[in-house]
Chain A
Amino acid sequence: MGRGWAIAVHGGAGVDPNIPSQRLEEAKKLLARCLNLGISALNSSMSAIDVVELVVRELETDPMFNSGRGSALTEKGTVEMEASIMDGPKRRCGAVSGLTTVKNPISLARLVMDKSPHSYLAFSGAEEFARQQGVELVENDYFITEENLGMLKLAKEANAIVFDYRIPVVGLGLETCSAGAGAMESTLQMNGLPLSVYAPETVGCVVVDDQGRCAAATSTGGLLNKMSGRIGDSPLIGSGTYACDVCAVSCTGEGEAIIRGTLARDVAAVMEYKGLPLQEAVDYVIKERLDEGKAGMIAVSSTGEVAYGFNCTGMFRGCATQDGFMEVGIWE
């Protein structure tokens, strides 16, 4: 009933233009690898909901982006992860927040959807559910990388919320990590910070399978140096993640702006209520719903299209459709 499968993955919107080229290459390799994983699964008729979980698990397990292992650290130096998943047919959904020992948050979100009477579990209740379900658990420090520890230290010195934990400490000019006026003069900013110290790298995947079923999944460690207990857009259905009969969407960027704009739901609402096709809906929402906020998103439609959009400098992404189209990109 569908018009061919389509898939998109992302590793965060908001990329420093001066990002070292080695990092760029590693990111592109990871995106391509995840895309290919999804493509193989789709070619063997795996359902959309299974594919998005599979791909996001891969992104969580790799320490490159800000999810699972490699998550950004809270102000306490710990990791608190969150994720959500949504199945377009019937709009079933599952979400988790405040995870500290669950190796793959997206899989726990899936279990909330499939095996609990609820849609969203958080903190110790979610961890307890994880134990009951027998999912793989690890110590919190499994998720913590050297780089993130360095970035947290930097952020605390700058006394600011920092998003990009991958910029190496060596080579970072003092003026770009200072919270003083000098840092604010940079024209490229997100959340009030220069882009050289900020780049959110939430991960996500959206898929429409060969039956026309859409699904979306998003996972993150959240903001570097966030207050413990802070929940962002990624686990919020309608904000960071959404899927229904017409499309599936996963967002990344300034969490608070995405929540205010109920970004993921708005793409579908604009398609349903204004009759816009997918790419126009994505463009409309990015343009009209973000106000001062910076964010990006990937989306697929039930008719086999794929689209993405962002209003900041770059978004790590990859997309592919059944007719052979495949692309990994970072800049416009």
Chain B
Amino acid sequence: MGWAIALHGGAGVPLSLPPERREPREAALRHCLQVGVEALKAQRTPLDVVELVVRELENNPNFNAGRGSVLTTKGSVEMEACIMDSTKSCGAVSGLSTVMNAISLARLVMEKTPHIYLAFDGAEAFAKEQGVETVDTSNFITSENIERLKQAKEANRVQLDYTQSIQTDPTKEKPTADGDSQIGTVGCVAVDGKGNSAAATSTGGLVNKMVGRIGDTPLVGAGTYANSYCAVSATGQGESIIRATVARDVAALMEYKGLSLKEAAAYVVEECTPKGTCGLVAVSATGEVTMPFNTAGMFRACATEDGYSEIAIWPPSTQN
């Protein structure tokens, strides 16, 4: 046993990622990993660590959360986030348009209200009451995302990423993408040396989403979950992650079927969600870490107390 941390900047990566798009993201992952590792070494709680790391990811405009959030069909920003620790305390927010760090507001919902989940005007009003940092909504909007929205509208569909392997699912949700798409959702999971863990996820959602659309990120058990077995943060196509209750199922498989963290996470990603829709990062109470995905790639990084660390985008090379 020892501490462990993993973070992601979104599953579903363009098949070709030119250096000028890849390098800033890799650098961000490296930086955020370092922030998290130092915090764990300084004995910060997992809850503090995941909030800290996700705040960094939200502030980075290269990921689909906070600044850099993708746009709704009306060209606006609606951000959502969720945080949970292994005692099963949790907080979630949706429909934010001025709050600098959605994950921190989610934490305040958890700690300062008798509720778990606040959304839209009510959440913004709560943010004002709490005095959290808010900015004009235009601050979150980047020219890249304006362009993405334009492309999505021209293609007349909701965008996920480049991944070609979109199943011919008869449902109207067709998360294909042409043109660079910064899918996203960012997330972080961490466990200390004593088995306490936490998970945090934050996102701007789907490009060209309907106003008011809520995805998997703020739903406890779908995009975010933590209990005494593990902590999980998922990313990908929200509707598939909700249907498969991805984050909860990883823990449930460990508890009810005795699977290991790696086995449980791999099962959920490979068997419970359609190809091209899901990735996750997870840590177990005993300090293991896993980062499976069924998309072309997933921006990710992890480290464990015994000195292992990894920053990656593409699938690990196959070994037989």
Contacts and interface: CB of A to CB of B under 8 A. Distances in A.
Interface of A: 91-93, 95, 97-98, 116-126, 128-129, 161, 191, 226-232, 236-239, 242, 255-256, 259-262, 265-266, 269-270, 273-274, 291
Given A92-B171, A273-B253, A237 B222 contact: yes
Nearest to B117: A231
> Which residue, B95, B122, B174, B248, has most C-beta atoms of chain A within 10 A?
B122
B196 to A, nearest CB: 16
Contacts of B310: none
Given A229-B126, A265-B245, 4 more contacts: A121-B210, A230-B118, A238-B221, A269-B256
Given A98-B120, A227-B115, A265-B245, A121 B212 contact: yes
Nearest to B78: A125
B212 A123 contact: yes
A124 B211 contact: yes
15 contacts: A122-B212, A124-B212, A125-B213, A128-B211, A227-B118, A228-B125, A230-B122, A231-B92, A237-B245, A238-B222, A239-B221, A242-B245, A260-B220, A262-B221, A265-B221
A78 to B, nearest CB: 11
Contacts of A236: 117, 219-221
B282 interface: no
A91 B211 contact: no
A236 B219 CA distance: 7
A101 to B, nearest CB: 14
Contacts of B245: 237-238, 242, 262, 265
Contacts of B31: none
Size band of the interface chain B makes with A: 35 or more
B119 interface: yes
Given A117-B172, A229-B125, A269 B212 contact: no
A259 B116 contact: yes
Given A117-B173, A120-B214, A124-B211, A229 B119 contact: yes
A227 B245 CA distance: 27
The 3 A-B residue pairs with the shortest CB-CB distance, nearest first, are A229-B122, A125-B212, A273-B256
Interface of B: 88-90, 92, 94-95, 113-123, 125-126, 158, 171-174, 209-215, 219-222, 225, 238-239, 242-245, 248-249, 252-253, 256-257
B201 to A, nearest CB: 15
Nearest to B72: A125
A98 B256 CA distance: 35
Q: Which of B116, B211, B253 has the most CB of A within 10 A?
A: B116
A96 B222 CA distance: 16
A246 to B, nearest CB: 14
B256 A270 contact: yes
A78 B90 CA distance: 26
A82 to B, nearest CB: 10
Contacts of A126: 212
Contacts of B122: 227-230
A161 to B, nearest CB: 6
Contacts of B118: 227, 229-231
Nearest to A235: B214
Contact of B88 (A238, A260, A270, A273): A260
Contacts of A262: 220-221, 225, 245, 248
B75 to A, nearest CB: 14
A128 B121 contact: no
Contacts of B249: 265, 269
A36 B163 CA distance: 49
Nearest to A127: B212
Contact of B115 (A95, A117, A230): A230
Contacts of A261: 88
B238 A119 contact: yes
Q: Which of A116, A259, A261 has the most CB of B within 10 A?
A: A259
B74 to A, nearest CB: 9
A273 B263 CA distance: 14
A272 B189 CA distance: 27
A156 to B, nearest CB: 15
